[in-house]
Structures are given as C-alpha cells and as structure tokens.
A and B are shown apart, each in its own frame.
Chain A
Amino acid sequence: MRKKLLATVVGTAAVLAASSMTSAQELNFDEYRQMLRDGNPAELFEMEGEELWVTARGPKNATLEQCDLGLGPGVVEGAAAQMPRYFADTDKVQDLESRLMTCMETLQGIDSKEIIDGRFRQGERGKVAAIVAYVTGQSHGHKINVDLSDPKVKDMYDLGEKAFFYRTGAMDFSCASCHSQDGLRIRATGLPNITTPEGAAEGWGSWPAYRVSNSQFWTMQHRLWDCFRQQRTAEPIFGSDVTIALSVYMAGKGNGGEAVWPGVKR
C-alpha cells in the first residue's frame, strides 16, 4: 500500500517537474493543485514523521510519545492548530518546530544545537520537518486558534507585527513590501495579503507544504528563511525570536481560518 502510494506520488511529481510550465500555465496553477489533491506528495513526509514519533532514538533511546505540544503529553490531534503557544516548562512562546526541538532534547537527548546549526532537509533538521508534516496533518481541517489572551503570546504578536513592517536590508524591503496588498503578484506568483485575516490564514494555514516546482517539502521556518533571503536581510537563525514572533503574528491574525496542512504549492 505504502509502496503504491509512493510510486504514484513520485510519478506525479516527476511529470510536473519535467514539463516546463509556460507562464500561462503558471498562472493557472490551481489546476495543478486540484490534480494533486488526491495524492499530495507531503503524505510521504507525514508517514515518515509518524514513524519517527514512535521510534526510540537519540542518546536516551526514547520515542516522542510523551512530547507535550500544549494539549498534554502525547496529544497530537489538534495541537498544531493552537500553536505557537506559551509553554511554562521552557518559559517561552514556541512554534511547532522549536517545541519539537525541546522534546527531542529533553526526551531523546538530541542536542538542539545540531538542529539550529544544521541545514534544511538534512540530518536532524530534516527529521523535524517530517515530524512537522505528521503533527500538522493531525490538525488538517481544524480552525487556527492561537491564544492571544495569553499576555506572553500577545507580546510576541506585537513584536511580530513590528517585525512584519520592519524595512531593512539592501533593497529596503519589509514583509509588507510583498504581502500587504490584495491580489498582487511577484512575477506569476500570487502573494497573500498577510495583514488581513483571510490572507494571514491563507499563508499560515497552508505551510508546511510540498513545493511542486522543486519537489521539496518545506516547513514554515523554511518558508520564512527563504522570504528573508528574498528580502536581502542577513540570515535568520532557525527557531529564533523573529521567526516565532512573525509566526504568532500570522497565526493570530489568521485565527478562525482553516488549516489545510500540509499544503501543496507551486
């Protein structure tokens, strides 16, 4: 069964990658999305992540089954829809990825430094991405529900809003330069207006996602990293405050919207 899914999924991705899309086709990407709906290649990552969740690993040879994502140890369903949130044990507001680092470190003994200094899609950071696919998949169809009545979460929201409009770098861009008006495009790629609840829910609620254009699975940390690259800033540190603050801003702004995790993108 698993093998069969793998074959179809890899087949679809290869066909899409091989056919060089014309600009007109790019503009009609919704059709591709529709085509992929029955077989989002991200499912492979979900399966890998589920296996990682229950596999004893790391210096402590433990599983992640006791990991507390905010709804109690081991509760995965619906947990991602309520993140980022404040965790008393770390005294920090954490997104899913930084929380998974905490669980991997405390339960399995895997050094967070290895993930923070690592590279996307490789080593332990790559494993975090697969677990993200699994965990977010368990919130698919849930409403985004970040607790802005928690003062520590609200504080991060305020910082995130400021960061969103913070113009800096070689081209004077802020996130708002590309994401604060309705219906705009960069080249043929549509950009959600993240300053509105609908646009924020669209952006926040569709990543992590499988990107058809390069056949890669990207988490939100990866998405933000690449947007900062396009913004021409220095490189954001994995799981750093700015990534959490922006995540709280987007998730909080998108509260009530539907999470369609994991997503599929051009």
Chain B
Amino acid sequence: MKKLMFAAPLALFASVAIASDLEARVEEMMLSSFKANGIASLDRQKRDEIQKACSSPTQPDAETMKRLEAVEMQTIQWPANGDYWQGGSWEEGQRIALSGRGLTWTDNADTVNGGGCYNCHGLDPANESAGTIGPALHGYAKVRGTSEEIVKYTWGKLWNAKAYNACSDMPRNGFGGILSEEQIRHVMAYLFDPASPVNK
C-alpha cells in the first residue's frame, strides 16, 4: 500500500517528462528536417505562442483561449481613415478572394498575395468550386446586414481571425502581412457591397 502511493506520483512524473521530451524532439525535427528556400526561410519553422498552444488535436481550456484572443485583438489595425469598405472595389476583392497565390517557396517577394478565401469558403453562390473548410458566406451582407457591429467584426476577423477564435484554421491576413490594409478593404467590399455577386 505504502509502496503504491509512492509509485503513483513517480509514474506521473515519468510520463510528463516523456511528453516534454517528445515536444522538444519534435521542435528540433521541425527545424532540422527543413531548409530555407527563397522567401520561405527557416524562421517559419518556429512557432509563436498561439501556434504552439493550438498544435494539438484538442484546443486549450476556455480561459487560455480567452487570454490568447485578447492578445491577438490588440494586434488589429482598424482603418486609419474610418473607411471599412465603401472605398474598396468588390471586383478587386473578388480577384483577391479567388487567388491562393503567395508566400510559398515558389513565390518571390514581388508576388501579389491572394486571400485564398475560396479555398475554404463559398462566397459567390454561382461559384460551385469553393472549398468547405470554413462556413459558407453566401449572401454575407444580405443575411447579416451592414451594421457597424458586423462591419467592424468582419474587418477584425479578416485582419486577425485568431482574435475571435484562438485556434481558428483561418490565417491572420493583416497581422501576418498576407494582405495589405487596402486589399482587406477590397475584400470587405466583396462581402458588403450590394452590387457584389456575393449578395446577389
């Protein structure tokens, strides 16, 4: 009995030690198994806090998620001129939504990045070859309206999706330098302009 009580904490300690050893070996492997190629440098193999926290099949507890989201929320840059979408062009936004280009080792620093939105979302109901990793956004403004609240939320979501859902599968477009502020405004127009095919 006494022996058992002694053994249990030891076993627990051992399994924790093995788990952190595995973690360290994976980090090492994710560096040593790669080489830099053009714009795809080895920095990409190092995770920031949110990537680390979301690297397992189960997401962190609610409190941690909230804390991580608050940090990401601080990174959002709201439009300097207060213009969320009116000055954008839905036609431009459509091109950005359709393009999945950019940031691979076969791209270069001059490549104009796309948002790759269609990889994951249905947007224009007429486009049948949209992905389904994210929710369908057909009729976005028609369904949700154009209140300040929804417009602001959408800008924030596009700038840094992790501010609203720490372990979202959606990239952090603004924060990560994937899309510029101007490009985000165009995509916003694609979602909100009544003339956009998304809202037809």
Q: Given A187-B131, A188-B129, A232-B44, do A166 and B30 touch, yes or no (CB 8 Å)?
A: yes
Q: Please tell me if the beta carbons of B26 and A235 are within 8 angstroms of each other in the complex.
A: no
Q: Are A165 and B56 also in contact (CB < 8 A) when A23-B128, A186-B133, A234-B40 are?
A: yes
Q: Are B33 and A236 in contact (CB under 8 A)?
A: yes
Chain A residues with CB under 8 A of B105:
229, 234-235
Given A24-B128, A184-B132, A230-B104, A172 contacting B51 (CB threshold 8 A): yes
Say whether B131 contacts A184, CB under 8 Å.
Answer: yes
Pairs of residues from A and B, 8 with the lowest C-beta to C-beta distance, nearest first? A23-B129, A240-B33, A242-B33, A188-B129, A171-B171, A235-B37, A234-B34, A162-B26
B65 vs chain A, min Cβ distance (A): 15
Chain B residue with Cβ nearest A183: B132
> B67 at the A/B interface (Cβ < 8 Å)?
no
Q: How far is the CB of A27 from chain B (nearest CB, A)?
A: 7
A233 with B119: CB separation less than 8 A: no
Chain B interface residues toward A at CB < 8 A: 22-23, 25-26, 29-30, 32-37, 40-42, 44-47, 50-52, 54-57, 103-106, 118-120, 127-133, 162, 169, 171-172, 176-178
A61 to B173, CA, bound (A): 54
Whole-angstrom CA separation of A185 from B119 in the bound complex: 8
Q: Which residues of A contact B (CB under 8 A)?
A: 23-24, 26-27, 158-159, 162-163, 165-174, 176-178, 180-181, 183-188, 195, 229-230, 232-237, 240-243, 245
| A166 near B40: Cβ-Cβ < 8 Å | no
Consensus secondary structure, chain B interface: loop
State whether A237 touches B131 (Cβ < 8 A): no
Contacts of A230 in B (CB 8 A): 104
Answer whether A242 and B35 are a contact pair too, CB < 8 Å, given A187-B130, A234-B42.
no
Complex CA gap A236/B104 in Å reads 12
Contact A158 B41 (CB under 8 A): no
Q: Is the CB of A242 within 8 A of B130?
A: no
**Least distance between B107 CB and chain A CB atoms (Å):** 9
- B29/A159 in contact, CB under 8 A: yes
State the Cβ distance, B135 to closest chain A Cβ, in Å.
12
Known contacts: A176-B57, A232-B103. The answer to whether A167 contacts B47 by CB under 8 A is: yes
A23-B129, A27-B129, A171-B178 in contact; A177/B169 too (CB < 8 A)? yes
Task: Give, as a whole number of angstroms, the nearest-CB distance from B48 to chain A.
Answer: 9
